[in-house]
Amino acid sequence: MMLLFLLLILIPLVAHKLAKRYKPRKLWAVTLSCFGAIVCPLGFGIYGLGIIPYLGLVFIGVALFIFSWHSPVGYEIAIAAGIQEPKVVVSGLSHVWIDIINSIVWGISYGVIGYLIDWLRNGQSARIPAK
């Protein structure tokens, strides 16, 4: 199962290759929005690499950083939406809903960052011409 979570990294890599070929002006918006959508489940895959001796501690540290930075947003939105009870351990279907919320929130957030990178990279040609 952890291997499947690690394979999620292929989504932004493939999106990067396709955007580079077909939509080079929107390269980073596409790539980072795809990365934002998979960053929380990818953390589970990275956490699974903690079984590797010595090097596993680094992977666990990276996974814990991903969880501590990205997961509270989805959790708080799930509480506000009534999906998750406050002060209760997340389990079962609630965890899936929290990851879906995280994918939407972080996909949009990272996509906006990617759009700004594309806007700066493309310079004057990306701006709307004045009439």
- Residue 90 falls inside a structural domain: yes
Nearest-angstrom CA–CA distance, 95 and 40: 11
Structural domain including 109 reads 2-123
Around Cβ 51, how many Cβ atoms within 10 Å?
10
Domain-embedded: residue 130 = no
- Is 129 contained in some domain? no
Position 44 scores a pLDDT of: 85
Instruction: Give how many domains the chain has, as a whole number.
Output: 1
- pLDDT given at position 125: 56
Inter-residue contact 102 to 70 (CB < 8 Å): yes
What pLDDT, on a 0 to 100 scale, did the predictor assign at position 104? Answer: 96
Question: Which residue is associated with the tokens 């004057």?
Answer: 124
What is the Cα–Cα distance from 6 to 44, expressed in whole angstroms?
8
Give me 37's structure tokens: 């959508």
The whole-number mean pLDDT for each consecutive block of 10 residues of the chain, a chain of 131 residues, reads 86 96 94 94 88 90 90 93 90 89 96 94 65 61
Residue 102 maps to a domain: yes
112, part of any domain: yes
Question: What is the value of pTM for the model shown?
Answer: 0.83
In a domain, 131, yes or no: no
Instruction: Evaluate whether residue 106 is within a structural domain.
Output: yes
Q: Which has the closest alpha carbon to 59: 80, 42, 38, 71?
A: 42
Evaluate whether residue 38 is within a structural domain: yes
